[in-house]
Chain A
């Protein structure tokens, strides 16, 4: 017996529905929406850690000088910034403050050949430029951040801007 055209269409239609159903069943649930704050925080953490690393290199050169005192204060602010950004750390959603890298400059000043005034001035200028760049980057990130993160990034930008001004003064 030859199947009627109607029964063929009905079977095809049922197969199509079944295929769609299977297809839906196999499909993973849609990924949760990406929170833009996560990437913005991580980028800010990278900037802060980079500033600390650069400061440590400078402090090793100007240890025991007036410039070192200033750079140590600036470094202390950046450690606070890292702590404020802590929830962004990978694998650490609880917000444990990051451990900044060990710093030569954060130890009490040890006797060392004093850097010349010119060397100190050069390190201050360099740090001012780094802080200025970081301030601009933090400020740019406020555009797409959530309100609370934008406020924090604005504070970091303001702090870096003041570091730049004091280092250049």
Chain B
């Protein structure tokens, strides 16, 4: 199986974003209290699964899988910053999942993008809830 250049760019960008999210959660989880930490661990695991699934899609299309960056600039001083970073990570990913839905030439990728966007929107909302923000939801996830 091969993929269009545009689809490969979308998938490659998503894998890179998942690498960054995994690195971010690895750092921010340790700054959270117990309940929120469990939420971060679950998100960490989900992002690893997502990265692996997306990598498999690239491999199936004969494309290289991007490596994680050598280092990520992640500094989290405390719980508030950790929660803010978690929201930003999910919001950033939602942009890429939305692109996969709207721009992928291969329509088989569309349900993958739809599910990814839903998952990131849910996690972002739950992190905003943990921040005490109101409203915790947004009308159009994935919009700038």
Q: Which residues of A line the B interface, CB within 8 A?
A: 69, 73-74, 76-77, 80-81, 84, 135, 139, 142-143, 147-148, 150-152, 154-159, 161-163, 165-166, 169
A77 touches B137 (CB 8 A): yes
B135 touches A151 (CB 8 A): no
Distance A156 CA – B101 CA, assembled complex (angstroms):
13
B113 touches A154 (CB 8 A): yes
B55 within 8 A of A: no
Within 8 A of A (CB), among B124-142: 124-126, 129, 134-142
B126 touches A151 (CB 8 A): no
Most buried by A among B97, B120, B140: B140
Report, nearest first, the 10 A-B pairs whose CB atoms are least far apart: A151-B102, A158-B121, A80-B139, A162-B125, A73-B135, A77-B139, A158-B141, A161-B118, A154-B101, A158-B117
**Given A73-B135, A77-B137, A147-B103, also A159-B110 (CB < 8 A):** no
Distance A81 CA – B98 CA, assembled complex (angstroms):
16
Distance A115 CA – B137 CA, assembled complex (angstroms):
24
Most buried by B among A76, A143, A162, A163: A162
B102 touches A166 (CB 8 A): no
Q: Which residues of B line the A interface, CB within 8 A?
A: 94, 97-98, 101-103, 107, 110-111, 113-115, 117-118, 120-122, 124-126, 129, 134-143
Distance A74 CA – B124 CA, assembled complex (angstroms):
15
B138 touches A142 (CB 8 A): no
A155 touches B117 (CB 8 A): yes
**The residue from A74, A135, A159, A163 contacting B140, defined by CB atoms under 8 A apart:** A159
**Given A77-B138, A158-B94, A158-B142, also A143-B122 (CB < 8 A):** no
Distance A165 CA – B143 CA, assembled complex (angstroms):
20
Contacts of B110 in A (CB 8 A): 142-143, 150
Selected A-B contacts with CB under 8 Å, 25 pairs: A76-B135, A77-B139, A135-B118, A142-B110, A142-B111, A143-B111, A147-B101, A150-B101, A150-B110, A150-B114, A151-B101, A151-B142, A154-B114, A154-B118, A155-B140, A156-B140, A158-B122, A158-B141, A159-B121, A159-B139, A159-B141, A162-B121, A162-B137, A165-B125, A166-B129
Distance A154 CA – B111 CA, assembled complex (angstroms):
9
Most buried by A among B114, B134, B136: B114
Distance A119 CA – B113 CA, assembled complex (angstroms):
37
B98 touches A159 (CB 8 A): no
Distance A156 CA – B118 CA, assembled complex (angstroms):
9
**Given A166-B129, A169-B129, also A159-B137 (CB < 8 A):** yes
Nearest Cβ on chain A to B37's Cβ, whole angstroms: 17
B134 touches A165 (CB 8 A): no
